[in-house]
Each structure stands twice: as structure tokens, then as C-alpha cells.
Amino acid sequence: MDLPVLNASQEGAAKGGCASHSCGSTDDQMGHLPEHIRRKVYNHPCYSEQAHHYFARMHVAVAPACNIQCNYCNRKYDCANESRPGVVSEVMSPVQAVKKVMAVAATIPQMTVLGIAGPGDPLANPERTFQTFRELSEKAPDIKLCVSTNGLALPDCVEELSKHNIDHVTITINCVDPDVGARIYPWIFWQNRRIRGREAAEILIERQQRGLEMLTERGILVKVNSVMIPGINDEHLAEVSKVVKAKGAFLHNVMPLIAEAEHGTYYGVMGQRGPTHEELQKLQDACAGDMNMMRHCRQCRADAVGLLGEDRGQEFTMDKIEDMEIDYAAAMVKRAEVHAQIERELEIKQAASAARAELVAIQGARTDAPATRPVLMAVATKGGGVINEHFGHASEFLIYEASPAGVRFIGHRKTTPYCEGGDTCGDGESALDQTLRVLKGCEVVLCSKIGYEPWQPLEAAGIAPNGEHAMEPIEDAVAAVYQEMRVAGKLDAQAVAEQKVA
């Protein structure tokens, strides 16, 4: 990733270094965190929404076995807790995994976090998982270690986790009610027995909650992932949020169920649907009253490499790594330089964000300011926190909401890149039609460039294409476009009333 060069005024802002107040994401709270916690999350792409524009993570697939069955998982595929469906390219030994991590860290200095997230459950494979962590903490001490688990074996592993200096643990908690759990988990394997139904869910929930308490008592940051399953646990997840917050969880990540018949999962075969974008956002907003919410999860593969949303795994297959000479001492020096530069950029962004928040507060305090309505905007980016992706190359769009309260990140929506989609994709829908459907509800799409062809269909769908803010910071561009719309009278009280009627 190319790092933008700072200009003079930005340098000045950096020195002013100030807390972030961009709305609606974990970064709202970043400025208020104690310094030792801020240091743990500022460069973790999952624990900080802002960090995910700059810092990368990687997973090593060292954990093939699992000790439970989820109705949304087929073991032939990646763990649906932490990955989108798709076979893991290669399950590897801890020795191979360590070599791969060091190769990636030397090549992608922005890679700050190594996570073990499957393809089964890492703590159901403790020897392989802890051997990997142990060796990495010795050989690559500048990499944060992260693990994701279903929680069944967690209470037995907390001591070992704290020994390896693992500051980030994700527990997938889909319910705190065993009756709900019995509809998600057909069985668990515990104390050498296969246990089914409500009893299985009861044990799993008890172990998850105990593990959560034990981790937070030790100061380890816990993120809770929940899979939103309409009709099963959707109405229950606000309660889950309350319970895990009360026990000290740092962040809650409500993810949509992915269930396709071709994945061979129980839910897929039974036709269980996943939530719509609107349903997911509504639930995340409802939970946000109780907790910091993660909205930028990409449900990555258990062997993902790169920024969230990109996968560079093919650059680091074992045969390629075998041939690489790695001087990790030199790599660490380079990594430290790159991290320091990104940190300076983040300070600039935070200063700009604070200034924007101040301006919004001043405008909001004006009694003569006309009421304006919120607007959703889609953004094409390939990282760095700026608008730097061509509309036709975008395989996902980040969705932001601009309103009188400021700019907030809502989530991301995947699509088939318009330029690569051919005439049709999937069930006969063209790539452009798919993008128009995915961007439903957005009024603007911001990108670095856009061709002539998609322009008209976008406008006809009520989505204004905008390539005028190329290479600008995303939040600044969204705020600027919102201001332009306000000045043009597109957001005034009349428009608010019309929108309500519509």
C-alpha cells in the first residue's frame, strides 16, 4: 500500500494531535480509552474501525478440528465464525505457519496482527495453536497475536493464553438462552461425550460466559462475534449485547448469517435466509446503545492475508515461501518506520475529525440552521482511508451516513466489479445491476474515477456518481458532499418532509 505524503498543514495538524470524535464507530471511544488499551487497539484492524484502512491482518490455518457443530458450518469450508465460506487452501503445521507469518510480515510491513481462526476451533487444537503462538512471540515480537474461539474449551485455556501475551480474544456467542442455542448447535463434544440439544447449548453458554469473565479479569480484550440468524436469534442478540457488555467485553460484532445451499450447511440446505443490509444495520444500531459495535468485519477466510476485504494469500503459498530469504531483524526496522508513519497519519485524521465534530456542533447549535435529513453515501476505496478506487474495479463499497450529527461508518457491501463482471453474473443479473441493487438506499457514490457507461443507470436509480473527491480522506469528502447537497437545497425541511411521506 502506498502511503500518502504529508503536506505542511497536515504536519501541523499532526502535532496538534487530538482525540477522534467521528461518530458511530469504535473510534468514537478511542480518544477516551486509557493509554494502555489505546496502544492495544490503535493498530488492530478488527478492534479499530480507523485502523482497518491502514493495517492488515493475516490468519494461519493450523487448527482443523472442532469440538462443536454449528448449523451454519460445513467442515469442508472455512469457519463461518471468522471466515466467509470457501475451502482453506492449505492446512499447515505450526512450523510452516511461523515461516509464513514471518514472510508476510517482512513483505507487508502494515501487517500487525496474526490471528488463528480455524478452519476449526483453535482451542480444540491447543498444541498446534499454542506452538504457533509460542514460536511467534519469540521470533516476531512486534506482531500482535489474536485468537477466535467458540468458547467451549476457553476456560481451560485462559492461563495458557495469558502466558503468550495474547491481548485479543474473540468468542462467538450467538445466544445466552439454551432454548435459542438448541436451534443453532445440534451437538457439542465435551468431556469425551457427544451431547445434544438443549443440554449441549447450556454447557456451551456456561463455558463461553465463564471464559469471558476469566479473560476480562486478566485485562485481556474480548470481542464477541454473533451470527445474526433471522427468526432464530435476531430478537435475542440485543440481550446478548447487554450481558457481554456487563461482563466487560470490549466490542460486539454482529455478522450476517451466510447460508447457501451449495455450502452444504444445515441452514443452507433448509433454506434459512440471512438478514438484509437494513435488518443488520437496525440490529447493530439497537445494540449500539449498550456496546461498542464493530461494523467493518469482512467475515474473512481462516487463511486470509492483507487488509480486511482483500486477500493476498496466493502471494504466500508454501512453495513460494520456501524460496524466500527472510532477514527479520531488518524487516522489524522497516516495519517500525512504516508503523510510525501510519501513526502520524492517524493523528492527523483524528485532529481533522475533531475539528469537523466541532464545526458540526457549532452548526447544530444554530437555531436558524434548517433541518436536514441523513444521507447514505457509498465509497470506493482500496485502503489508506482515502477515495482511491475506480468505480468499475470496486468489489465492495463502504457505506457512510452523513447527517447533522456528523459522518458515521455504517458497513460495507460486496459486489462484482463492473469492469470484470462480463455481461452477466450468477443468476443472469449483470454486474452493474448487481451493484445498483447492492447500493440501494445510497444517494451518492464516491470513487476515484467512473466511466461514461454506468453513469446514466446510476443517476436513473437515484445514485449520483461523484469522482470529484479522488484521493481525499473519506470522511472529509462525505462531509463536503453533504454540505454541497445542503447548499443546493437537497436536504432541507421540505426534502425531509417528502422523504418521510415516501
Residue 240 binds to ligand CLF (criterion: CB under 6 A): no
Q: Where are the alpha helices (DSSP H) in 318-374?
A: 318-322, 328-365
Binding status of residue 102 toward ligand CLF by CB under 6 A = no
* The only residue of 113, 152, 158, 212 in contact with ligand CLF, by rule CB under 6 A: 113
Opening angle at CA 207, ends 179 and 122, nearest 5:
110
Minimum distance, C-beta of residue 120 to ligand SF4, in the bound complex (Å): 5
From the list ligand SF4, ligand CLF, none, partner contacted by residue 113 (C-beta under 5 to 8 A by kind): ligand CLF
Residues 335-374 that bind ligand CLF (CB under 6 A): none
Asked if 446 interacts with ligand CLF (CB under 6 A), we say: no
Q: Long-range CB contacts (< 8 A, 24+ apart) of 330-336?
A: 331/102, 331/105, 331/106, 331/109, 332/140, 332/142, 334/109, 335/105, 335/109, 335/142, 336/142
Identify residues 208-227 at the interface with ligand CLF (CB under 6 A).
Answer: 223
Residue 77 or 418 having the CB closest to ligand SF4: 77
Please say which residue, 66 or 140, places its beta carbon nearer to ligand SF4.
66
SS3 call for 9: helix
Q: By CB under 6 A, is residue 253 in contact with ligand CLF?
A: yes
| Cα 194 from Cα 203, distance rounded (Å) | 12
Q: For residue 399, what are the CA distances in angstroms to 77, 277, 381, 451? A: 28, 11, 11, 21
Partner from ligand SF4, ligand CLF, none binding residue 298, C-beta < 5-8 Å depending on class? ligand CLF
Task: Name which of 91 and 200 has its Cβ closer to ligand CLF.
Answer: 91
Choose from ligand CLF, ligand SF4, none: what does 68 bind? Cβ within 5-8 Å by kind.
ligand SF4
Q: Which of 297, 444, 445, 446 binds ligand CLF (CB under 6 A)?
A: 297
C-beta of residue 298 within 8 angstroms of C-beta of residue 47: no
CA distance 44 to 119: 21
Q: Taking CB within 5 to 8 Å according to partner kind, which of ligand SF4, ligand CLF, none is near residue 73?
A: ligand SF4
Q: Which of 41, 36, 123, 49 is nearest to 79 (CA)?
A: 123
In this complex, which beta carbon is closest to ligand CLF, that of residue 40 or of residue 57?
Answer: 57
Least distance in angstroms from the C-beta of 304 to ligand SF4: 15
What's the per-residue H, E or C state across 15-82?
Answer: HHCCCCCCECCCHHHHCCCCHHHHHHHCCCCCCCCCHHHCCEEEECCCECCCCEECCCCCCCCCCCCC
- Looking at the Cβ atoms of 390 and 413, the one nearer to ligand CLF is 413
Quick one: which segment of 203-211, 296-304, 428-436, 487-495 binds ligand CLF (CB under 6 A)?
Answer: 296-304
Nearest distance from residue 75's CB to ligand SF4, in Å?
A: 6
Task: Candidates 29, 50, 125, 170: give the one binding ligand CLF (CB under 6 A).
Answer: 170
Residue 454 C-beta: closest distance to ligand CLF, Å: 29
Cα distances (Å, whole numbers) of residue 270 to 72, 198, 263, 368 = 11, 20, 12, 56
82 lines the binding site for ligand CLF (CB under 6 A): yes
Judged by DSSP in three states, 146 sits in strand
Q: Which does 300 bind (CB under 5 to 8 A by kind): ligand CLF, ligand SF4, none?
A: ligand CLF
For ligand SF4, the closer CB: 82 or 389: 82
User: Which partner, ligand SF4, ligand CLF, none, binds residue 120 by CB below 5 to 8 Å per kind?
Assistant: ligand SF4
User: For the chain, how far is it from start to end, CA to CA, in angstroms?
Assistant: 43
Print the SS3 string covering 462-490: CCEEECCCCCCEHHHHHHHHHHHHHHCCC
Indicate the residue among 117 and 331 with the shorter CB distance to ligand SF4.
117
Q: Which of ligand CLF, ligand SF4, none binds 408 (CB below 5-8 Å, type-dependent)?
A: none
Residue 473's φ and ψ, nearest 5 degrees, are -60, 140
- Residue 272 per-residue DSSP state: P
Q: Among residues 148 and 350, whose Cβ is nearest to ligand SF4?
A: 148
Pairing type for strands 168-172 and 442-446 reads unpaired
List residues binding ligand SF4 (CB under 6 A): 66, 68-70, 73, 79-81, 118, 120-121, 150
The footprint of ligand CLF (CB under 6 A) covers: 46, 57, 59, 82, 113, 115, 117, 146, 148, 168, 170, 223, 253, 297-300, 308
